[in-house]
Structure 1
Amino acid sequence: MDTTVRGGTELLWSALGGDPALLDRIVYGGPSGLLPARLPVMDLARATVAVCSLAAVEHAGLAGPARVDDGAVATAFVSERHLRVDGRAPVNFAPLSRFWRAADGWVRTHANYPHHKAALLAALGAADSVEAVAAAIAGRPAVEIETLVYGAGGLAVALRTPEEWAATEQGREVAVRPLLTRERLDEAAPRARAGRRLRVLDLTRVIAGPVATRTLALLGADVLRIDPPDNPELPDQHADTDFGKRTAALDLDRPSDRRTFDELLDAADVLVTGYRPGALDRFGLHRPGLVVARLSAWGDYGPWAGRRGFDSLVQAATGIATVEGSAAEPGALPAQALDHGTGYLLAAAVLRSLTEQDREGGSRLVRLALAQTGHWLTGTLPLPHGLEGMGGTPVEPGRYVTETDGPLGRLRHALSPVAYEGGPTAWSRPPGPQGGDEPAWLTD
């Protein structure tokens, strides 16, 4: 086996505190040459899925093996592109989510959500059209646009080279931080869960967090996703990432909904959050014996800690889009690999925390950030051997997708790449109407 394949997995498993002797339980296979890029995207994808599968084997107390099929991995990393809802292809990026020419370079915006679009247009003083936004951005420096839009509650970043990112204060902070952090907070006993399913309270959005909780749902957890009633998930994101889950709507500023939420949290085993650092602190989310997994875009440190962010923005800010682009225009990774990779790594961190908690007790906290995963991709993983430009083979879904009928219609969707001997092969339920479930735990 190529040492690069094993090397990335070893590094991640060590970061997760795993026993290195268990690495021999991973079996690799499948087609090669997938997710072609200048950066080692396939190595990142394979390694994050490998440690997630191995953490599942360990937590289930099974011998394995954990099977990593490159075809399944590559297909899952672009699951949003394979989705079909009654034959309709999804809308993955809105017209105003794209690169724009600024006076001195490029700017990347994200305006998929209505409130982010409104903030972008208000900051620029522009009408709702590609032409109007292009004109508003063209005459200003890229960093000025970045500051202006973020100040208005929108999302925009200036395109940077890797060197320019490394010279920023946020880039320096990211460079000296670990890929992920794992903490034992106290000596509390783990939540008693004998004879019932693991309970996961899901406060995440978009891709990375939902991929993590979708994976935990595959493995048998009762995952309950909570969204605010006035800000639901985008319908196609929901159809892709909410397999196996139930979803409910709660307004945490409403006393009755807050009481319901507190009762859910009191009985949960795991809480996964994907909002900006500090955004949920006022709700007092700590509970003894809980495993908390916190995901952010930029990390909870440095001047960008409070900023919103998405995979495409992190690629632009950190230099990835420059590396993958050309002299004429910026590029992108062949998948939203920071999102998907961080999602599987987050699920692995939750499973490892539960395994350690079962042995030693203690409330647990794990933290990951898309920018940290990007730093690992660009600075730790070795570049693909002999790869020139963008050569390689595009992923062909083949046996790695399936169709499922449910409340949203007939869904064509990618299968999970997390697989092991004796493990599940499909989710227990397709996604239902958003917010259509009772905010209560299942009774086993």
Structure 2
Amino acid sequence: MSAHILFENLCCELGLDAFPADRVTLTGADPVYPMPFRIGEAAAAVLALQGVMLDSLRVQQGMAPQQITVDYHSAAASTYAVAFQRQNGHNWQYNDPDYPTTDFYRTGDSRWIFLHGGYPKLRDGILDILNVPNNRSCIADAVMTWNAEYLESTLADAGLCGAVVLTFEEWQAHPQGRVVCAEPLIRLTKVSDSAPRSRLYGTEQTLQCLRVLDFTHVIAGPTATRGLAQMGADVLHISSPRRPRILPFDVDTNHGKRNAYLDLSVLADQQTAARLVSDGDVFVQSYRPEALGRYGLSVPEMVQLNPHLIAVNLNCYGHTGPWKNRPGFEQLAQTCTGMAMAQGENQRPQLGPTYPNDYLTGYLATLGVLMALERQSREGGAWQVDVSLCRTATWLQQQGLVDGWQKATGSDEEWIAACMATETGPFGELHYFNTALRLEKTPLRFTTPAMPLGAHLPEWLSR
């Protein structure tokens, strides 16, 4: 399969084959990284479709169409973008890599389970359930006393993160897997009957008319809003002053955004959030559905405030089915859908060397916003966009596996260098991966450098 075929199939799957794609140039084929999945081709196809939909908004206003180019090497590298970040010429320092509550462990019934304790609350909860200290050997011994599915459900009932390793065939037969396989890759739902909404798109940065409220964290959600910021949107990222963060990921996904704190347990901050929703255009969240609904930020409540809102939801396990409210991360999506077992060649499960589900799901969410904007201009209404890590992982595997992937060595430096940009701001000189999507007339770029969390007031820029 070539990137062109995957791109054409994706156009049909999303109902976008009516939009002209004759100016799209895709080059190359997988494998790029030592992974059995078509990471480069998939990322190139989604990014190219972003370009198609973004250009359709410009053309609606009489602007000239443009050439759209994506190379599979660069697209594959984009799924590991955070690793290329440099601060004042130095590699960014990550957290302790030896984090024993985030790894695969063998269970007493000879299965594998992946525990994810990547944040203190998750780590401490796992250790409490296992009744062990934070020691890899002790954790391994404790997990060996558990049945895999019972440990998985016990963790889920406690609001913690863990998933039993499945093959792709097992995932397709699993109750949650069956539901996810039936979900569209991007679910686009009209949720109000307001009149069509016209917008004045920019000649240099198309989405400069758009206000995006960003309630996301880690990679997939912030990647979605990062893409909108590159297209010119005013993105206001909201975080809690009390929530732990992973600084390298925050910095890499905050270029071009403003960052404010809100504590939604405080009534005044809830009211501020409601005002922002009322005056905004797009709301993007990557928490569990009930997390923000407790504070008046469910989709029905927000649509009452703003009948033209585009509300985007990203989660791990899908938006229907018995696992829809479970917390999860990239590694868990690889684990339960069969990717980890395929990466380990059906022996010991193994995670891939990039974060394909995180980045691709973020790209799909950005594409979903562009699709909703186009639909809104014709049909009006508020729109809901739903994407998930597990649906992305399922789609990747449905494209078939790549031959000879074990010999792949990663993207060449020249392909990475072509996508890099440099800025100077509060973090010094940052050298970072900008984008693999090349647009002839409106190149993607950030207008402001990455800023610390909480650096701005929770308010929109004047239009």
Q: Same fold (TM over 0.5)?
A: yes
Shift of 1:68: 0.7
Indicate whether 1:312 and 2:331 are aligned. Answer: yes
One of 91, 102, 122 as aligned partner of 2:107:
102
Structure 2 residue aligned with 1:207: 219
Amino acid at match of 1:89: W
For 2:12 and 2:192, locate their aligned partners in 1 and report how far apart those are by CA, in whole Å: 23
Deviation at 1:185, TM superposition (A): 2.0
Matched, 1:371 2:390: yes
CA shift for structure 1 position 218: 0.3
Counterpart of 2:40 in structure 1 is 42
Deviation per CA, 1:350-370: give whole Å up to 9, x if none: 012112212331111111111
2:57 matched residue in structure 1: 59
TM-score, scaled to structure 1: 0.93
Match of 2:204 in 1: none
- 1:339 and 2:358 are equivalent in the alignment: yes
1:224-281 deviation line (CA, Å, top 9, x unaligned): 1111221153211101111111111111221111111111000010111111133322
Partner amino acid, structure 2, of 1:403:
T
- 1:174 paired with 2:177, answer no
In 2: Cα distance, 1:374 partner to 1:327 partner:
17
Residue 71 of structure 1: how far off its partner (Å): 3.1
Aligned Cα root-mean-square deviation (Å): 2.1
| Whole-angstrom CA distance in 1 between matches of 2:138 and 2:160 | 17
Q: 1:403 aligns with which of 422, 430, 437?
A: 422
Q: Is the 8 A contact 1:52 1:348 kept in 2?
A: yes
Amino acid at match of 2:91: R
Amino acid paired to 1:179: L
- Alpha-carbon deviations, 1:75-123, whole Å to 9, x = none? 2110121123341334276613221222212211222222222222222
Q: Give the match's secondary structure for 1:436.
A: coil
Task: Report the Cα distance in structure 1 between the residues aligned to 2:354 and 2:438, rounded to whole angstroms.
Answer: 21
3-state SS in 2 of match to 1:23: coil
Measure, in 2, the Cα distance between the counterparts of 1:54 and 1:311.
Answer: 27
Q: Which residue of 1 aligns with 2:370?
A: 351
1:79 is the counterpart of 2:84:
no
2: CA distance between counterparts of 1:31 and 1:411? 30
Q: 1:221 is aligned with what amino acid?
A: A
Q: More displaced, 196-205 or 143-152?
A: 143-152
1:165 is matched with 171
Spell out the pairing of 1:20-419 with structure 2 (5 A cutoff): 20-29=18-27, 33-61=31-59, 62-86=64-88, 87-91=90-94, 95=99, 96-103=101-108, 104-189=110-195, 194=200, 197-282=209-294, 283=296, 284-286=301-303, 287-326=306-345, 328-379=347-398, 381-384=399-402, 387-396=403-412, 397-419=416-438
Change (3 A) 1:327 1:99: same
SS where residue 407 of structure 2 aligns? coil
Q: Kindly state the Cα deviation for residue 328 of structure 1 after the two structures are TM-superposed.
A: 4.5
Task: Return closer, same or farther for 1:98/1:72 CA change in 2, 3 Å cut-off.
Answer: same
Change (3 A) 1:398 1:32: farther
What are structure 2's unaligned runs of at least 5 residues? 202-207
Cα pair distance change 1:177/1:253, threshold 3 Å: same
- Cα drift, residue 150 of structure 1: 2.0
Q: Secondary structure at the match of 1:24?
A: coil
CA distance change for structure 1 residues 21 and 267 in 2, over 3 Å: closer, same or farther?
closer
Distance in 1 between residues matched to 2:51 and 2:104, nearest whole Å: 36
Contact map agreement 1:51 1:345 (CA 8 A) in 2: no
Shift of the 197–211 alpha-carbon distance from structure 1 to 2, 3 Å rule, reads: same
SS at match of 2:291: coil
**Letter paired with 2:75:** V
Decide whether aligned partners of structure 1 residues 130 and 79 sit closer, same or farther in structure 2, where only a CA change above 3 A counts: same
Residue 116 of structure 1 aligns to which amino acid in structure 2? L
Q: Deviations over 1:271-320 (max 9, x none)?
A: 11111133322313323011111111111211101101111101111111
Tell me the distance in 1 between the aligned counterparts of 2:224 and 2:98.
24
What count of residue pairs does the alignment treat as equivalent?
A: 439
Further displaced range: 84-93 or 147-156: 84-93
Q: 1:25-59 deviations in whole A, cap 9, x for unaligned?
A: 21123687423422222222211111112222222
Q: In the TM superposition, what whole-angstrom CA distance separates every residue of 1:297-352 from its partner, at most 9, and x where no partner exists?
A: 11121110110111110111111111110454212233211111111111011012
Q: Is the 8 A contact 2:34 2:353 kept in 1?
A: yes
Query: Hey, what's the Cα distance between the residues in 2 that align with 1:414 and 1:375?
Result: 27
Offset at residue 190 of structure 1 (A): 5.3
- Structure 1 residues 351 and 422: alpha-carbon distance in aligned structure 2, compared to 1, 3 A threshold: same
What TM-score, normalized to structure 2? 0.89
Task: Please tell me the residue identity of whatever aligns with 1:298.
Answer: Y
Q: Percent identity?
A: 32
Contact 1:201 1:272 survives alignment (8 Å): yes
Q: Report the Cα offset of residue 222 of structure 1.
A: 0.2
Deviates more, 1:331-340 or 1:395-404: 395-404
Q: Secondary structure at the match of 1:122?
A: helix
Q: 1:409 to 1:129 in 2, by over 3 A?
A: farther
